Structure 1
């Protein structure tokens, strides 16, 4: 089985641990020793990992599965802390805001979980189609969600609401909103990468809903990553060249192409020191590469 394009199977923690999901297991790679130090297995072989996300500033890992579960694991003890139910389909996206974990599924529902309490589900948001991406903003004030029908929604911080809230902004794109990420140094700025029929990088001012810049990459964009150390942007691509590209910001001038993969580069993750990038491709190959600019 290969990596799935519409899932989120890679994350690099502040504790320098990489989690990567593959089939029914999540492998933990130590960013200091460069070795896999453990593997976590979900239930049965028919259950597969569909998303992973580290809590901010700790060793708790959230794992979404194809049967609608969200599992919490303590990596230090290698024990599962709890299973959180509520979804009725594949949990393809996860994002933390302190002790609040937001999870999105293919039926278009987003659940907010307070992982500290037994009655964990606090509120629900809804898209018309499946959730491809979820990201809390660095300010922790807004949640961005992308769906398979091209909608990008910006939601306020209100995880305790029991109503199906109305988003602050809803922006329509030509393809599924899978590649999406907040700028770490501009709290209202969000980058979105278009799919196979689009190929555009779009920079959004989420406070106004305005597109501040865009460029056509002439390629499927699978993942998008901000590089705070150099104030640049990295994108990973599928057809036709399966490359990773680094862009100057805010001009979006292309700086370099990196060709280390033979398949679509589905996922990117940045190390805590912001000088290494972990990239994983559809043919189950991964590359760790150093990048910084003087």
Structure 2
């Protein structure tokens, strides 16, 4: 592979030098996280290329990426070419170019081109996943805001970190949910908790109806779950957790807004009833399970 770094003046490799003439940032004086991340990525690409070439200075080359004022300042032509390739490859990724097609244009031995392709594809995959996560977060926020507005605040999507704020106040009861008989058991526990708290019988019956819907959903779609009922001031927090597949985001608008809409993943009429009878329905859901929180107002019902 020594011939890799012999001097070439063909059009293909002149492009490498021409497209990487831009400056790198001053020594560790990063203006932003994005700038630091870019330089670290260039350093990592150089490290991988050097490793594939069995160059002993790979760690030094990685660290050097943070302190270079300019690629032009590198005196070692072999090392300079690695940095030029790294910066060129990062440009392909940023511009959404087809990496395989761009590498074909370079006049390098196939083993080295394979190392370059494998390295750039790994960088590309990591950036794609980051972009997908960001896009997913943005889509989730749109769904959250639209459903919240359409239900006039009656249905709220939350992330997992916010669940703990609802597990406050006095814990009235809890129950495991594993088998069908746990539906009636959970309903009776809830009835006892509401009755002991002083709720009228009509309100207890209404609340038990939607709790039955939620617990039944756990039996249908998850291996197991738990129910907790907390009381904080005049508000009951009924929390039902499960380890099921979660609710697909794209069907939540229909599930929450269309009465009677049902799929094998949804609650059918459950959400419609909950929205009518609860002060607020709160949902955290993912492929790892869901947490449904029913805020039930006991104000004015005690006595």
Q: Return the TM-score normalized by structure 2.
A: 0.19
Between Structure 1 and Structure 2, the one with more helix by share is 2
- Structure with higher strand content: 1
| Higher Cα radius of gyration | 2
Which structure is higher in RCO with an 8 Å CA cutoff and minimum separation 6? Answer: 2
